[in-house]
Chain A
Amino acid sequence: MATTTQAPALDPLDYLAIDSLLDDEERAIRDTVRQFVREYVLPEVADWFERGVFPREIFAELAKLGLLGMHLDGYGLPGASAVAYGLTCMELEAGDAGVRSAVSVQGSLAMFPIWKFGSEEQKERWLPPMHAGEIIGCFGLTEPDAGSDPASMRTHARRDGSDWILNGAKMWITNGTIADMAIVWARTDEGRIHGFIVEKDMPGFSAPEIHKKLSLRASVTSELVLQDVRVPEENRLPEVSTLRGPLSCLNEARFGIVFGAVGSGRACFEAALEYAKERIVFGKPIAAYQLTQQKLAEMALELNRGFLVALHLGRMKDAGTLRPEHVSLGKMGNVRGAIEVARTARTILGANGVTLEYPVIRHVNNLESVLTYEGTHEVHTLVVGQALTGQNAFR
């Protein structure tokens, strides 16, 4: 239908006016997290990244906002919508993927399995203090020799009277060293996969930090070592005994990544757009050159498309129609898109694109982790391939 009313002015930072697809409450949550990131994270994060630290105190701040386990309900948890959780991930990752990872791990990987597969006693004991940021959790599935194929895990659980004895090692565990508890997945002799709540002071358990990484430096990454760790039966998650347990947790977490990646990309785009308008070359701003405009236009396209996909998946999740295969498509596309945007932004900033004075190189490097964690790009591609063809090409 033709119309004579004038369309509202275009906002370069919200090209497709996606804001109008959010309701007041979603915008309020988004704005609050954005303000928190602007005031608390951005002034410090380059320093955290350079020093390779993640301040544990930030959990208290995130808890005050109510963001830890925000999308879960009952037990004093907020029960926010999937879209609200996604928007939160987007804003946190626009600060740094390390902060978003910490929140993803706490909410989707440590609290979610208790909320979903835990006993009533476990939920009451763990969920409220984890929401309050008093107890930090981590999630141990990946092993040094078992990544994309978690079924090949070696971590072993043996029944001993009313207890379990755990042996094995987990690798690339976000929050591990600062965590008070770990959800550890282990295989029994019968071939079942159980989740255990391993507490940090249980004898035989340690979580040494992994150093020398050049990505997600503002994030704690650890190894979990289990040597004859005795775990009581009441610390076993009773409601699941197959790989479906850990995989459903990862599906929760990677839903957040679909949004988070757009946040990373957006931070790079905004830095590049501002820089392009100010940087003078041959007498005019580089924004006035066709090559730069093409870069900016492609970035805007990628980000707006990614946001729409994320928001659509969020609406599907809230409607209960979201499948893991949908999330795979979103993670695959949005992380790839964000990497493209971040690297392009880096070229617009020239040498400034590699210093921590600007956010771009941090995001470029972080996204290298985001590309392969919570399901590699390749695995998600095969998930989508299987959904399209009905053929399993994993093995």
Chain B
Amino acid sequence: MKIAVCVKQVPDATAAKRIDPETKRLDRSGEAALNATDLNAVEEAIRLKEAQGGEVVLVSLGPERALESLRKALAMGADRAVLVADEAAAGSDLVATSRILAAALEREQADLVLFGQASSDGDGAVLWAAVADRLRRPLISQVAALTTDGSTVTGKRQTEHGYDTISAPLPAVVAVSDAINEPRYPSLKGIMGAKSKPQETLSLADLGVDAAEAGEAGSRTTVLALGPPPARGESLKIEDDGSAAQKILDYLVERRLL
């Protein structure tokens, strides 16, 4: 089975995020990492491959330096990486991004396309739906357990009150939650072998996507204004002298939160 995993390089979780007021885009020059739930998707893909054989291909849109982050997923056990890196794609919104990823995925013709549920920077949690729609493939999202027999895929989808169990014929798109697995550490041999795995960098032209259909030109949304998040309300620091649990309980009861 051929599995494509869509992954994204995001600013490292520990780094302070900064938005460039000029371009209204996130400053991506600092420490970067692979998006956390994308690692769950990579892990799931590798487990499927280990159990049933096949190939795991990473597909990503981002700047050239995103290859550094893709290498971590290669070190975990993915087989190769395809990065779409093109100046004209910078600033792509959901519409433009889904168009580019769909074009890259069409080229791969994978049986199963996996996504992490949401990226930690954009936090949209809809890209997989847009891509599935463009590919005209069934979609299961928020998946906490996944099985496949090679012709269908079945996902346990987390809901507020329990699980939905949903099956779809392959090829399909699945977005996984962080509850699905515990991503492995890349092994030393994996890290040392990652560099020599195939890593392809494609332009929009390679995918046959018109530059006018990508980046800001191809986007259907415009960022009008940006503001800092509202200041946190009154906070209370409780030092534990043995009575912290009671104090927290009192606090919650007082505000009728319990």
Chain A complexes with chain B: yes
- Cβ of B169 under 8 Å from chain A: no
B190-220 contact mask (Cβ, 8 Å, vs A): 1 or 0: 1110110000000000000000000000000
Range of interface residues on B (Cβ < 8 Å): 10 to 19
Q: Is the CB of A29 within 8 A of B71?
A: no
Which residues of A are found within 8 Å of B185, using beta-carbon distances? Answer: 32, 35-36, 64-65
B78-119 contact mask (Cβ, 8 Å, vs A): 1 or 0: 000000000000000000000000000000000000000000
Which of A28, A36, A64, A79 interacts with B191 by CB under 8 Å? A28
Q: Is the CB of A28 within 8 A of B189?
A: no
Identify the closest chain A residue to B190 (Cβ). Answer: A66
What separation, in Å, do the CA atoms of A70 and B222 have in the docked complex?
51
- Cβ of B186 under 8 Å from chain A: yes
Q: Is the CB of B68 within 8 A of A66?
A: no
Which residues of A are found within 8 Å of B189, using beta-carbon distances? Answer: 66, 78
Q: Is the CB of B186 within 8 A of A32?
A: yes
Q: Contacts A25-B195, A28-B194: A65 and B188 contacting too (C-beta < 8 A)?
A: yes
- Cβ of A67 under 8 Å from chain B: yes
What separation, in Å, do the CA atoms of A389 and B188 have in the docked complex?
42
- Cβ of A308 under 8 Å from chain B: no
A77-110 contact mask (Cβ, 8 Å, vs B): 1 or 0: 0111000100000000000000000000000000
- Cβ of B152 under 8 Å from chain A: no
- Cβ of A201 under 8 Å from chain B: no
Which residues of A are found within 8 Å of B187, using beta-carbon distances? Answer: 64-66
Which residues of B are found within 8 Å of A29, using beta-carbon distances? Answer: 188, 191
Q: Is the CB of B186 within 8 A of A80?
A: no
**Residue of B184, B185, B188, B195 most packed against chain A (CB within 10 A):** B188
Q: Is the CB of A80 within 8 A of B71?
A: no
- Cβ of B153 under 8 Å from chain A: no
Q: Which residues B170-186 have CB closer than 8 A to chain A?
A: 184-186
- Cβ of A24 under 8 Å from chain B: yes
Which residues of B are found within 8 Å of A25, using beta-carbon distances? Answer: 191-192, 194-195
Identify the closest chain B residue to A76 (Cβ). Answer: B189
Q: Which residues A308-333 have CB closer than 8 A to chain B?
A: none
The SS class assigned to the A binding surface is helix
Query: Min CB distance, A79 to chain B, in Å?
Result: 8
Identify the closest chain A residue to B76 (Cβ). Answer: A32
Which of B72, B188, B194 interacts with A78 by CB under 8 Å? B188
Q: Contacts A36-B185, A65-B187: A24 and B71 contacting too (C-beta < 8 A)?
A: yes
Query: Min CB distance, A128 to chain B, in Å?
Result: 13
What separation, in Å, do the CA atoms of A36 and B186 have in the docked complex?
10
- Cβ of B58 under 8 Å from chain A: no
Which residues of B are found within 8 Å of A24, using beta-carbon distances? Answer: 68, 71, 195
Which residues of B are found within 8 Å of A28, using beta-carbon distances? Answer: 71-72, 75, 186, 191, 194
Query: Min CB distance, B220 to chain A, in Å?
Result: 36
Which residues of A are found within 8 Å of B186, using beta-carbon distances? Answer: 28, 32
Which residues of B are found within 8 Å of A32, using beta-carbon distances? Answer: 75, 185-186, 188, 191
**Residue of B75, B190, B191 most packed against chain A (CB within 10 A):** B191
Which residues of A are found within 8 Å of B194, using beta-carbon distances? Answer: 25, 28
Query: Min CB distance, A375 to chain B, in Å?
Result: 27
What separation, in Å, do the CA atoms of A127 and B4 have in the docked complex?
37
Identify the closest chain B residue to A85 (Cβ). Answer: B188
What separation, in Å, do the CA atoms of A78 and B190 have in the docked complex?
10
Identify the closest chain B residue to A70 (Cβ). Answer: B188
Which residues of B are found within 8 Å of A66, using beta-carbon distances? Answer: 187-190
What separation, in Å, do the CA atoms of A24 and B186 have in the docked complex?
14
Identify the closest chain B residue to A77 (Cβ). Answer: B189
What separation, in Å, do the CA atoms of A79 and B190 have in the docked complex?
12
What separation, in Å, do the CA atoms of A243 and B185 have in the docked complex?
39
Which residues of B are found within 8 Å of A65, using beta-carbon distances? Answer: 185, 187-188
Which residues of A are found within 8 Å of B191, using beta-carbon distances? Answer: 25, 28-29, 32
What separation, in Å, do the CA atoms of A367 and B185 have in the docked complex?
29
Query: Min CB distance, B64 to chain A, in Å?
Result: 13
What separation, in Å, do the CA atoms of A84 and B188 have in the docked complex?
9
Query: Min CB distance, A127 to chain B, in Å?
Result: 15
What separation, in Å, do the CA atoms of A302 and B188 have in the docked complex?
30
Q: Which residues B143-187 have CB closer than 8 A to chain A?
A: 184-187
Which residues of A are found within 8 Å of B190, using beta-carbon distances? Answer: 66
What separation, in Å, do the CA atoms of A65 and B71 have in the docked complex?
16
What separation, in Å, do the CA atoms of A80 and B195 have in the docked complex?
14
Which residues of B are found within 8 Å of A79, using beta-carbon distances? Answer: 192
Identify the closest chain A residue to B195 (Cβ). Answer: A25
**Residue of A24, A35, A70 most packed against chain B (CB within 10 A):** A24
What separation, in Å, do the CA atoms of A46 and B112 have in the docked complex?
44
Q: Which residues A52-68 have CB closer than 8 A to chain B?
A: 64-67
Which residues of A are found within 8 Å of B71, using beta-carbon distances? Answer: 24, 28
Which residues of A are found within 8 Å of B75, using beta-carbon distances? Answer: 28, 32
Identify the closest chain A residue to B31 (Cβ). Answer: A11
Query: Min CB distance, B189 to chain A, in Å?
Result: 5
Which of B68, B72, B192 interacts with A80 by CB under 8 Å? B192
What separation, in Å, do the CA atoms of A79 and B189 have in the docked complex?
9
Query: Min CB distance, A43 to chain B, in Å?
Result: 15
Identify the closest chain A residue to B29 (Cβ). Answer: A8
Query: Min CB distance, B237 to chain A, in Å?
Result: 12
What separation, in Å, do the CA atoms of A307 and B184 have in the docked complex?
29
What separation, in Å, do the CA atoms of A84 and B152 have in the docked complex?
43
What separation, in Å, do the CA atoms of A35 and B34 have in the docked complex?
14
Query: Min CB distance, A60 to chain B, in Å?
Result: 13
Which residues of B are found within 8 Å of A64, using beta-carbon distances? Answer: 184-185, 187
The 4 closest A-B pairs by CB, nearest first: A66-B188, A66-B187, A28-B191, A78-B188
B interface residues with partner A (beta carbon < 8 Å): 68, 71-72, 75, 184-192, 194-195
Interface CB pairs A-B, < 8 A, 5:
A25-B194, A28-B72, A28-B186, A28-B194, A65-B188
Supplied contacts A32-B185, A32-B188, 5 more A-B pairs, CB within 8 Å: A24-B71, A28-B71, A29-B191, A35-B185, A79-B192
